[in-house]
Amino acid sequence: MKFYMTPGSCSTGIHILLEELELPFEVYIVNLMAGDQIKPDYVAINPKSTIPTLVREDGTALTEFGAIAYWLARTNPKAKLLPGDADGDALVIETLHYVVGTIHGQGFTRIFTTGNFTPNEADYETVKARGREIVEKSFAVMNNVLAGKEYVAGNFSIADAALFYVEFWADKIKIDLPPNCQAHYQRMLARPVVQQVLREEGYRL
């Protein structure tokens, strides 16, 4: 398989899942700052110009974090990246969508890509502040989800890989995580595969 990713981005979560599953894959770096995502060769693979993209062994490309994570879990059932019962699976998918759609899509995008939300640079700080507000409120929600548990659904799942990358972002830009999220983040950092992935992506532990 071919994995198109950007170090330190949401694709880090998929990188973790691929390594957890010990699947063979080739890494292709997409430099977002250089505009690799809009170059014809990449658009031919992923017309959305997004990351991550996973080109499977049959040559078909799968995009969107949730879809890739779900496919990896379903095609590798022995790893139990989904709990396997209706309630557990629903919780994992609910959490994954909340992380990707709200914490990332509504919160961190306002902080990281402020110009997409307003053409007026005078409004940048207001937009960033709103993004931070969304992120902090959302982590408070996740703090309750994690109450009394080591991982979102009890055991490590695709939802934890998603939650980790936004916790990682929060750590990097000094947004305080509430206690259960901080404990989850530290638990994830202690996983050997997570340490391996961060080293491979150029981060010092």
Domain-wise residue ranges, the chain = 2-79, 86-191
Provide the CATH topology of domain 2-79: Glutaredoxin (3.40.30)
Query: What is the bridge-based pairing of β-strands 61-63 and 53-55?
Result: antiparallel
Res 6: pLDDT? 96
State how far the Cα of 26 lies from the Cα of 12, in Å rounded to an integer: 14
pLDDT at residue 205 tops 80: no
Name beta bridge partners: 27: 3
Compute CA distances 117 → 31, 107, 125, 129, whole Å.
22, 11, 11, 12
List strand residue ranges (DSSP E) for the chain, in order: 2-5, 26-29, 53-55, 61-63
State how far the Cα of 195 lies from the Cα of 192, in Å rounded to an integer: 5
Whether the Cβ atoms of residue 81 and residue 90 lie closer than 8 Å to each other: no
Q: For residue 204, name the pLDDT band (cuts at 50, 70, 90).
A: confident
State how far the Cα of 13 lies from the Cα of 52, in Å rounded to an integer: 10
Q: Tokens 């695709």: give the residue.
A: 158
CATH number for the region 86-191 comes to 1.20.1050.10
What's the pLDDT tens digit per position in 59-117? 999 999 999 999 999 999 999 999 999 999 999 999 999 999 999 999 999 999 999 99
What's the pLDDT tens digit per position in 120-165? 999 999 999 999 999 999 999 999 999 999 999 999 999 999 999 9
What's the pLDDT tens digit per position in 5-45? 999 999 999 999 999 999 999 999 999 999 999 999 999 99
